[in-house]
C-alpha cells in the first residue's frame, strides 16, 4: 500500500468505547459492529489491494438514524466513510482506522414506482439491477449498467457517477438521476430535485452525483426509467490491426450512428475471454469490436447493414452479425467476463480506467504496449471504444516482491498518457484513493482549490470520506480568502469604454 491516508486522531481512538456506546444508542441491536472479526468484510472494497479495518461499523436503517449518526460524529469531530455495496474499483469506500464506516446496506426498499412520470424512487442500498427488474414487467429499465450491476447499489452509483456499456447512447448515472435525499455531516436532511426534469436553482444533483461520498450521505434516489428498445442486435468484427479497428469506431460515429454499445478488446483480452467463456471469438485478430444497435427492428436492420459496410471498408478480417438473442448474448459473454477471464491467467491484475479522445485509440494502445515492455508486465486491454474509455488490465503477481508497486507505477503512467492525449484520469470508476495522487496531472492547484471550496460548502470540517479524491486537503478558512493582487487598478492595459 503506497498511498498515505490522513493521520489517525489518537484522541478519537482513545474514546472508541464511548463512541461505540453512543452509536448503539442511536442504532440499536446488530446495527453497530465493533468486533475485529465481524468488521473484516468491511476492510476493503473492489480495490482489494488496499485494506484497513475501520474503528467501528454502523448500519443505520432509517434516514433519521443516518442523521443522528452524522450529527454525533460532526459534534465529536469523528471521520465518516460512507459505503454502499463496496464494489468501488477506486477505493472510494476504503475505511479509516479512526473513522466510522457508515454502511447503507439496510436501505433495501424501492419506495415508489411511478410509470406515468417514468421514475423510480428508491432507497440507496437497492442494487442497480434490482431497479431494472422491478420495472421490467412493464417494459421499462434503468439504463446505466455498470458491469457490477448485480451487486452495486444505486446509492454507490450516484456517489461514483457510474457508467457501463450502454452509456454511450443512454448516458451515465448523472444523466439518469433526477433527485435525491442527502444527509449532510451536520445531520441536516436536504431534498434535491424530485420527479421533475430539472431541479430549481443551482444543479446540486449534478455535483452530488460523482462526489465520491465527500459531500453527504445519500438516503434516497429518484431515477429516470426508460422503455426497453424493441430489439437489439450485435456485430462482432475482427481486425488484423488495432488502427483499423480504431478507424472503424471513428467512421461509425462520423456517419452519425450512435450504437447502444461499442466495445473493443485487444489480442490478450480476446484470448483470455475466449479461453474462459468460449464465446467463439476469433483468435487470429489483433482487435475485436462488439457493436450493438438497438431500437425498432427496421432501424436496427438498416443500421447493422450500414455498420457492416463501414467495418468492411475498414478492412475487417472477420465479421459476424447476431441472428438471435442467444447469439447476441454470446458475443457479449466474453466481453462481460473479461475481468474474471484475465483473473484466471494472472494471480493479480490492476484495472485502469482512463478516457481519451476516440481518435487517439491506436496511439494510446501503442504507448501502453511500449510501457508494458518497459515494465516487463503483461497488459490486456478492454475499451468502451465508443466513448474512448480504456480499461487496461495490468497483470502482476502480488507475491513477487515489488511487483505490485511496479504495476501501480505502470498504471499511473497509462493515466498520464491519457491526460497527455487530451483525456482524463477516470471515465467511470472514480478517483478514490487509487488516482488521488495523480489529480495534479490533470488539474492545477487553482482547479483543485475551486473543487475543494465546493467541499467546504457541504463539509467545512472535512469529516466525510477524507483521504479520497484530493491529494492535499486545505483548510476551508484558507481556501475562502480572497487575495486581491496589486491594489486597485493594476491592470492599466484593460480597455475601458
Partner 1 sequence: MTGGHVETSKIRDAGDVEQAVRAAIASEQPLEIVGHGSKRLIGQPMTTNALLDLSELNAVVAYEPNELIITVQAGAPLADVLSLIDSKNQQFAFEPINTSALLGTPDIGTIGGMIGAGLAGPRRIRAGGARDHLLGAHAVSGFGDSFKAGGKVVKNVTGYDLCKLLAGSWGTLAVMTEVTLKVMPRPESERTLLLRGLDDATANRAMTAALGSPFDVSGAAHLPASAFRADISGLADIGPAGQAITLLRLEGITASAVHRAAALAALLAPFGAADTVQDTGSAAIWRSIRDVKPFAAAGALGAWPVWRIVCPPAAGGALGQALSRGTGGDVVYDWGGGLIWAALPPKPDAQAAVVRAQVDAAGGHATLIRASEQVRRNVDVFHPQPGGLARLSERVRHGFDPKNILNRGRMTRGAAT
Residues in 14-73 at the binding interface with partner 1, rule: CB under 8 A = none
Q: Which of 128, 148, 157, 174 binds partner 1 (CB under 8 A)?
A: 174
For cell 444533483, what's the residue?
205
Taking CB under 8 A as the binding criterion, the range among 22-30, 33-41, 268-276, 482-490 that sits at the site for partner 1 is: 482-490
Q: Which of 47, 192, 232, 352 binds partner 1 (CB under 8 A)?
A: 192
Burial 193-228 (b: 16+ CB within 10 A, else e): bbeeeebeeeebbbbbbbbbbbbbbbbbbbbbbeeb
Number of shown-chain residues binding partner 1 (CB under 8 A):
108
Residues in 270-329 at the binding interface with partner 1, rule: CB under 8 A = 295-296, 298-299, 302-303
Q: How far is the CB of 101 from partner 1 (least distance, A)?
A: 23
Taking CB under 8 A as the binding criterion, the range among 45-53, 67-75, 170-178, 405-413 that sits at the site for partner 1 is: 170-178
* 3-state SS record for 22-88: HHHHHCCHHHEECCHHHHHHHCCCCCCCCCCCCCEEECCCCHHHHHHHHHHHHHHCCEEEEECCCCC
Q: Does 491 bind partner 1 (CB under 8 A)?
A: yes
Q: Which of 86, 95, 210, 268 binds partner 1 (CB under 8 A)?
A: 210
Q: Which of 2, 133, 200, 329 binds partner 1 (CB under 8 A)?
A: 200
Q: Please say which residue, 137 or 491, places its beta carbon nearer to partner 1.
A: 491
Q: Please say which residue, 27 or 448, places its beta carbon nearer to partner 1.
A: 448
Q: Please say which residue, 345 or 424, places its beta carbon nearer to partner 1.
A: 424
Q: How far is CA 217 from CA 2, 67, 181, 306, 349, in A?
A: 28, 9, 8, 46, 31
Q: Which of 83, 384, 391, 468 binds partner 1 (CB under 8 A)?
A: 384
Residues 6+ apart with CB under 8 A from 449: 474, 479
388 closest CA partner among 411, 409, 413, 365: 365
Q: Which of 11, 48, 309, 457 binds partner 1 (CB under 8 A)?
A: 457
Find the helix or strand (DSSP H, E) in which 480 lies: none
Q: Does 209 bind partner 1 (CB under 8 A)?
A: yes
Residues in 86-125 at the binding interface with partner 1, rule: CB under 8 A = 114-119
Between CA 79 and CA 95 the distance in angstroms is 10
Q: Which of 5, 93, 131, 204 binds partner 1 (CB under 8 A)?
A: 204
- The conformation of residue 400, written as its DSSP 8-state character, comes to S
Pattern 213-252, binding to partner 1, x per CB under 8 A? --------------xxxx-------------------xx-
73 closest CA partner among 61, 55, 89: 55
Q: Which of 357, 363, 412, 416 binds partner 1 (CB under 8 A)?
A: 357
Q: How far is the CB of 382 from partner 1 (least distance, A)?
A: 14
Taking CB under 8 A as the binding criterion, the range among 7-15, 44-52, 75-83, 184-192 that sits at the site for partner 1 is: 184-192
Q: Which of 29, 401, 402, 495 binds partner 1 (CB under 8 A)?
A: 495
Find the helix or strand (DSSP H, E) in which 448 lies: helix 445-458
Residues in 148-167 at the binding interface with partner 1, rule: CB under 8 A = 160-161, 163, 167
- The conformation of residue 175, written as its DSSP 8-state character, comes to G
The count of other CB atoms within 10 Å of the CB of residue 448 is 19
- The conformation of residue 444, written as its DSSP 8-state character, comes to -
Taking CB under 8 A as the binding criterion, the range among 10-18, 125-133, 393-401, 476-484 that sits at the site for partner 1 is: 476-484
Q: What SS3 state is found at 477?
A: helix
Q: Which of 196, 305, 329, 472 binds partner 1 (CB under 8 A)?
A: 196
Taking CB under 8 A as the binding criterion, the range among 104-112, 341-349, 368-376, 483-491 that sits at the site for partner 1 is: 483-491
Q: Please say which residue, 101 or 425, places its beta carbon nearer to partner 1.
A: 425
With 0-12 / 13-18 / 19 or more C-beta atoms within 10 angstroms meaning exposed / middle / buried, residue 261 is buried
Between CA 214 and CA 415 the distance in angstroms is 23
Amino acid at each position: 500500500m503506497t498511498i498515505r491516508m490522513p493521520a489517525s486522531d489518537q484522541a478519537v481512538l482513545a474514546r472508541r468505547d464511548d463512541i461505540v456506546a453512543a452509536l448503539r444508542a442511536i442504532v440499536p441491536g446488530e446495527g453497530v459492529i465493533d468486533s475485529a472479526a465481524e468488521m473484516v468484510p468491511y476492510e476493503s472494497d473492489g480495490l482489494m489491494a488496499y485494506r484497513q479495518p475501520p474503528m467501528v461499523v454502523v448500519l443505520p436503517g432509517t434516514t433519521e438514524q443516518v442523521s443522528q449518526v452524522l450529527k454525533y460524529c460532526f459534534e465529536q469531530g469523528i471521520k465518516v466513510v460512507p459505503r454502499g455495496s463496496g464494489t468501488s474499483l477506486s477505493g472510494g469506500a476504503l475505511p479509516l482506522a479512526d473513522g466510522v464506516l457508515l454502511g447503507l446496506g439496510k436501505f433495501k426498499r424501492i419506495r415508489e414506482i411511478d410509470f406515468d412520470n417514468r421514475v423510480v424512487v428508491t432507497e440507496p442500498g437497492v442494487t442497480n439491477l434490482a431497479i431494472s427488474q422491478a420495472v421490467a414487467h412493464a417494459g421499462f429499465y434503468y439504463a446505466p449498467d455498470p458491469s457490477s450491476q448485480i451487486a452495486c447499489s444505486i446509492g454507490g452509483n450516484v456517489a461514483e457517477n457510474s457508467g457501463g456499456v450502454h452509456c454511450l447512447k443512454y448516458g451515465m448515472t448523472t444523466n439518469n438521476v433526477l433527485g435525491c435525499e442527502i444527509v449532510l455531516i451536520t445531520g441536516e436532511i436536504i431534498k434535491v430535485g424530485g420527479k421533475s426534469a430539472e431541479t430549481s436553482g443551482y444543479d446540486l444533483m449534478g455535483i452530488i452525483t460523482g462526489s465520491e461520498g465527500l459531500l453527504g450521505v445519500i438516503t434516497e434516489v429518484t431515477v429516470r426509467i426508460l422503455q426497453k428498445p424493441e430489439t437489439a442486435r450485435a456485430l462482432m468484427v475482427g481486425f488484423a490491426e488495432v488502427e483499423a479497428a480504431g478507424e472503424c469506431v471513428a467512421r461509425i460515429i462520423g456517419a452519425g450512428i450512435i450504437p447502444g454499445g461499442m466495445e473493443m478488446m485487444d489480442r490478450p483480452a480476446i484470448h483470455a475471454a475466449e479461453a474462459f467463456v468460449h464465446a467463439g471469438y476469433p483468435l487470429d485478430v489483433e482487435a475485436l469490436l462488439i457493436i450493438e444497435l438497438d431500437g425498432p427492428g427496421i432501424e436496427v436492420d438498416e443500421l447493422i447493414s450500414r455498420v457492416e459496410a463501414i467495418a468492411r471498408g475498414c478492412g475487417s478480417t472477420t465479421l459476424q452479425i447476431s441472428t438471435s438473442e442467444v447469439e447476441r448474448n454470446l458475443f457479449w459473454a466474453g466481453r462481460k467476463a473479461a475481468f474474471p477471464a484475465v483473473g484466471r491467467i494472472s494471480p493479480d491484475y490492476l484495472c485502469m480506467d482512463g478516457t481519451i479522445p476516440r481518435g487517439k485509440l491506436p496511439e494510446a494502445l501503442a504507448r501502453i504496449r511500449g510501457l508494458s515492455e518497459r515494465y516487463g508486465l503483461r497488459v490486456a486491454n478492454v475499451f468502451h471504444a465508443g466513448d474512448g474509455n480504456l480499461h487496461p488490465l495490468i497483470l502482476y503477481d502480488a507475491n513477487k516482491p515489488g511487483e505490485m508497486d511496479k504495476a501501480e507505477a505502470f498504471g499511473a503512467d497509462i493515466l498520464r498518457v491519457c491526460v497527455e492525449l487530451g483525456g482524463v484520469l477516470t471515465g467511470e470508476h472514480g478517483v478514490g484513493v487509487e488516482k488521488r495522487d495523480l489529480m495534479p496531472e490533470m488539474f492545477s492547484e487553482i482547479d483543485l482549490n475551486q473543487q475543494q471550496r465546493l467541499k467546504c460548502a457541504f463539509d467545512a470540517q472535512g469529516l466525510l470520506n477524507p483521504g479520497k479524491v484530493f491529494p492535499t486537503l486545505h483548510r476551508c478558512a484558507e481556501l475562502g480568502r480572497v487575495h486581491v493582487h496589486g491594489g486597485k487598478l493594476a491592470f492599466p492595459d484593460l480597455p475601458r469604454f
